[in-house]
């Protein structure tokens, strides 16, 4: 028995898939740029927070072919991502979607309950709206990380002209490290996100393509943990107004 609701607006879907393509290319080209000087310290010194100081990234993880080509791709994706971010954030604000990811009192408690559920400490899936507390935390952190990446990227792109931005990160060396580290954290969140989609809620893929979502197959309705999708007897998640927005 299906219980279809309109879950994701077309703006959310388009900006999501643009991000997927742009971030993959930007990451690969950024790694190629990094390989031109695979160190955060100045020549002759080591950087304490990088145990692989001086070691290049494997070529198969990079994109762009050479330094100049990688820079062209990197800056092209930078402008695409900035434009995409303005569209996405503007839509969240104007359409009210920001309410689904904005932190609220009790989120820490709800996140702990989700962790207990995934660890089989709690038997029943905690009640959730469009996103559970762990998802909300990740989705809220991604734009924040994106802002740090943009600012640190500008700091290392024009460290003299935009020296006031570079100063926010102490100096060029730390701006470069923070740019790299923030991107690594963003990619980690993305990998966890993809894993959880396939391991817990593969039915949500439909909503990121067509916009429609079957509430009868939601993790809450199925009491689903990673790779554990048993249907509870008679367990059915109710349709909530916040999940039914067009």
* Predicted pLDDT of residue 237: 43
d(CA 164, CA 171): 10
The answer as to whether 130 is a domain residue is no
The answer as to whether 202 is a domain residue is no
pLDDT > 80? residue 153: yes
What's the pLDDT band for 229 if we cut at 50, 70, 90?
low
Q: Report the mean per-residue pLDDT for the chain.
A: 87
The answer as to whether 173 is a domain residue is no
The answer as to whether 231 is a domain residue is no
Q: Give the residues across from 4 on adjacent strands.
A: 214
User: pLDDT tens, 52-94?
Assistant: 888 999 999 999 999 999 999 999 999 999 999 999 999 988 8
Would you put residue 11 in left (φ > 0), alpha (ψ -120 to 50) or beta?
alpha
d(CA 140, CA 108): 14
Q: Give the residues across from 212 on adjacent strands.
A: 6
d(CA 33, CA 62): 9
Cβ contacts of 34 within 8 Å, gap of 6 or more: 57, 180
Tell me which residue range forms the domain holding 89: 11-95
The answer as to whether 66 is a domain residue is yes
3 state SS of 16: helix
What's the pLDDT band for 44 if we cut at 50, 70, 90?
confident
The answer as to whether 23 is a domain residue is yes
Entry pTM? 0.84
Domain count along the chain? 1
* Predicted pLDDT of residue 60: 95
pLDDT > 50? residue 132: yes
The answer as to whether 203 is a domain residue is no
The answer as to whether 48 is a domain residue is yes
User: pLDDT tens, 155-184?
Assistant: 999 999 999 999 999 999 999 999 999 999
């Amino acid at each position: 028995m299906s219980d279809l609701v309109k879950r994701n607006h077309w703006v959310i879907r388009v900006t999501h898939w643009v991000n997927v393509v742009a971030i993959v290319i930007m990451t690969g080209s950024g790694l190629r740029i990094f390989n031109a000087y695979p160190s955060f310290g100045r020549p002759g010194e080591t950087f304490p927070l990088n145990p692989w100081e001086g070691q290049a990234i494997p070529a198969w993880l990079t994109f762009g072919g050479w330094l100049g080509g990688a820079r062209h791709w990197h800056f092209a994706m930078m402008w695409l991502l900035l434009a995409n971010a303005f569209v996405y954030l503007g839509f969240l604000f104007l359409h009210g979607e920001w309410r689904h990811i904005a932190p609220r009192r009790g989120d820490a408690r709800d996140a702990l309950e989700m962790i207990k559920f995934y660890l089989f400490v709690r038997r029943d899936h905690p009640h959730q709206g469009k996103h559970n507390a762990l998802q909300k935390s990740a989705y809220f952190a991604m734009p924040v990380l994106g802002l740090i990446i943009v600012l640190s990227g500008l700091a290392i792109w024009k460290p003299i002209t935009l020296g006031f931005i570079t100063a926010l990160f102490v100096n060029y060396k730390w701006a470069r490290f923070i740019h790299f580290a923030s991107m690594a954290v963003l990619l980690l969140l993305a990998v966890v996100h993809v894993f959880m989609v396939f391991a817990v809620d593969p039915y949500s893929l439909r909503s990121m393509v067509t916009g429609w979502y079957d509430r009868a197959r939601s993790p809450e309705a199925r009491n689903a943990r990673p790779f554990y999708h048993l249907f509870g007897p008679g367990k059915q998640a109710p349709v909530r107004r916040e999940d039914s927005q067009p």
